[in-house]
Amino acid sequence: MPEFIARRLLQLIPTLIFILVVVFALVRLLPGDPASAILGDRAIDADVERINRELGLDKPIPVQFWVFVKSFATGNLGNSITLKLPVSQLIADRLPITMLLTFMAAVISLLMAVPLAFVAALKRDRPPDSIIRGGFQVGLSMPVFYVGLILLTIFGAKLRWFPVGGYGDGFLDHVYHLFLPAVTLALSLSAILMRNLRAAIIGVLDADYVSFAQSKGLATRLILYRHILRNALISTLALFGLSIGTLLGGAVITETVFAIPGAGRLMVDSIYGRDYPVVQGLTVALAVLVSVTFLLTDLLQAWLDPRMTK
């Protein structure tokens, strides 16, 4: 296991380098130049030159890349053009909000998917199964912003059970404020996980080792958790890891709908405002977050399935 962890950590290095290259290239390859974007149509050459100098865009490409990499190594990512704050500070302020939102959504989607997948699998092709699958199929077809809007109207505006936006103060208040957004975000992921887990459980139910466990006279609950769920979760976990990117994408929209001052909202605002340093820094930060999540799900998978570390 320690070897496996070390190997996976080493694999993270090329991924990180690749992320940096892609973001660097993306910002420079796409049409539109930052200076005129910032200054608008009335830009005079002197201003354009000044901005380009400030952003280091007057230097040769390899030098720019070196400065770029160094800025990430030192954490000095420059200042936001619109907010006039250090990018690293903005990320440190906003990213945890998005991380908490995503984490809550992940937990909620598992809490919804696992029990319902069990019921659906055990009652295969009977009414409970059809109802659960039909319900999730509808959930999967609903856009995130639509779900958010409806939940917000019903549980926020009408019933007043939850706040209609914002982030609150203190951890518990944060969780309270993020609950509806997290449910919104969780819905489509839980549908995907449920479908996968249901199929996996059905596969495991027929496995000999489940019959063997039953022949040992074990309690049903023990068989469900230790023998069925654990094996079924292995493949679902891989899907879960791969879905983190989608989840973060959904967070962008959810934060917009619920007016949450997270990284997703910051990303959209910065894109609108052509705030290149922020877009650049945030994109790398999100990509790193996704890579680290991949790593964690990989490790979790290896821990669940000893055959993988071989």
Partner 1 sequence: MSSETVLSVRGLTASFGQGDRKLTAVNGVSFDVRKGEVLGLVGESGSGKSVTLRALTRLLPEGAEVTGQVMWRGRDLVSLPPAALRQVRGGQISMIFQEPMTALNPVLPVRVQIEENLRAHTGLDAAGRKARSRELLDLVGIPDAARRLNEYPHQFSGGMRQRVMIAIALASDPDLLLADEPTTALDVTIQDQILNLILDLRDELGMSVVFVTHDLGVVAQICDRMAVMYAGRIAEEGPVADVLAQPHHAYTLGLLGSVPHAGGERRPLHSIEGTPPGLAAIPPGCAFNPRCGFATSECRQTLPQLVPSGPARQAACHHRDRVADETTVPIPRAAGSGGGR
Partner 2 sequence: MTDTARPETPVPSRGRAGLLSRLPRTFMFGVLILGTLVLIAIFPEFFAPYDPLAFDYSAVLQPPSAAHPFGTDNFGRDVLSRVIHASTINLQIAIFATITPFVFGTLLGAVVGYVGGIAETIFGRVVDAVITFPFLVLVIAIVSVLGPGLVNMYIAVGLVGWVFYARIIAAEVKVQKRLDYADAGRAMGYTHTRIVFRHLLPNSVTPAIVYWMTDMALAILLGSSLGYLGLGAQPPAAEWGVQIAEGKNFMATAWWISVFPGIAIVITGLGFSLLGDGLADLLRTRK
Instruction: Examine residue 109 and tell whether it contacts partner 2 (CB under 8 A).
Output: no
Nearest to 27 by CA among 71, 78, 59, 64: 64
What burial class does residue 271 get, using C-beta atoms within 10 Å of its C-beta: 0-12 exposed, 13-18 middle, 19+ buried?
A: middle
Indicate which single residue of 99, 142, 238, 259 sits in contact with partner 2 (rule: CB under 8 A): 142
The two three-digit tokens of residue 44, written as one number: 């005079």
Query: Is residue 299 close enough to count as binding partner 1 by CB under 8 A?
Result: no
Task: Name which of residues 182 to 211 contact partner 1 (CB under 8 A).
Answer: 206-209, 211
Q: Which residues 103-162 are close enough to bind partner 1 by CB under 8 A? A: 122
Q: At what angle do helices 230-242 and 276-304 cross, to 10 degrees?
A: 170
The reply on whether position 245 binds partner 2 by CB under 8 A is yes
The nearer residue to partner 2, 19 or 302, going by C-beta atoms, is 19
Handedness of CA 66, 67, 71, 77 (dihedral sign): negative
**Which span (30-38, 60-68, 70-78, 172-180) binds partner 2, by CB under 8 A?**
30-38
Judged by beta carbon, residue 224 or residue 242, the one nearer partner 2 is 242
User: What mask, x for binding partner 1 by CB under 8 A, covers residues 209 to 238?
Assistant: x-xxxxxxxxxx-x---xx--xx--x----
Q: CA-to-CA distance for 182 and 118, rounded, in angstroms?
A: 23
- Tokens representing 63? 């030098």
Phi, psi of 164 (to 5 degrees): -90, 5
Number of residues that bind partner 1 (CB under 8 A): 26
The residue range among 58-66, 108-116, 145-153, 214-222 that interacts with partner 2, by the rule CB under 8 A, is 145-153
Contacting partner 2 within 36-65 (CB under 8 A): none
- Residue 30 contact among partner 1, partner 2, none, beta carbon within 5 to 8 Å by kind: partner 2
Site for partner 2 in 271-310 (CB under 8 A): 271-272, 274, 279, 283, 286-287, 290-291, 294
42: contact with partner 1 by CB under 8 A: no
* Cα(151)–Cα(147) distance, integer angstroms: 6
- Among 124, 303, 309, 122, smallest CA distance to 223 is for 122
- Binding status of residue 246 toward partner 2 by CB under 8 A: yes
Distance CA 164, CA 69 (A): 40
Q: Closest CB to partner 1 among 130 and 214?
A: 214
Residue owning tokens 């005129």: 36
Closest approach of partner 1 to the CB of residue 204, in Å: 10
Enter the tokens of residue 64. Answer: 């720019």
Of 18, 58, 65, residue with least CA distance to 34:
58
Helix (H, G, I), strand (E, B) or coil at 25: helix
Candidates 54-62, 67-75, 136-144, 219-227: pick the segment binding partner 2 (CB under 8 A).
136-144
Binding site for partner 1 (CB under 8 A): 122, 206-209, 211-220, 222, 226-227, 230-231, 234, 304-307, 310
